[in-house]
Amino acid sequence: MNIDQRVSPLLREDNKAVLPGDTRGPAPDIGEPSKDVPRPGAVDVAPVNTSTAHDVVSDAKQALQGTKDMIAERATAGVTVANSFVREHPWQVLGASAVTGLFIGLLLKRRD
């Protein structure tokens, strides 16, 4: 069976394509293929401005470095505050730790 025999049931007398089960009528004629449409497999790559890409990457690195420095400063400040509180109130911290440990132990015991 050649291609004409397989395609002919899908064509009407005026050579307009009709899909099986299509009740809307023939497909519109779209004309000749455009010369502007690239062939399959043809790739047209626009040149990339590498200086702009380097600038964007450099800006991103600077922003991340600033964020990293800010997080490190805040973490250091938090540790300093916690350390000074523990040194000023050792018995309160010991009592709070004991109560927390007892509470977690009771919760784990109830799970069994």
pLDDT digits (tens, 9 = 90+) for 63-99: 899 899 999 999 999 999 999 999 999 999 999 999 9
Angle (nearest 5°) at CA 46 between 45 and 51: 125
Q: Which residue has the higher pLDDT, 13 or 108?
A: 108
Please give the model's pTM, rounded to 2 decimal places.
0.41
User: What's the pLDDT score for residue 58?
Assistant: 87
Place of tokens 């000074």: 84
User: How far apart (Å, rounded) are the C-alpha atoms in residues 17 and 26?
Assistant: 6
User: What's the pLDDT score for residue 92?
Assistant: 95
Say yes or no to pLDDT of 51 above 80: no
Length of the chain: 112
User: How far apart (Å, rounded) are the C-alpha atoms in residues 57 and 65?
Assistant: 12
Rounded percentage of the chain residues whose pLDDT exceeds 90? 39
Q: Rg (Cα) of the chain, in Å, rounded?
A: 37
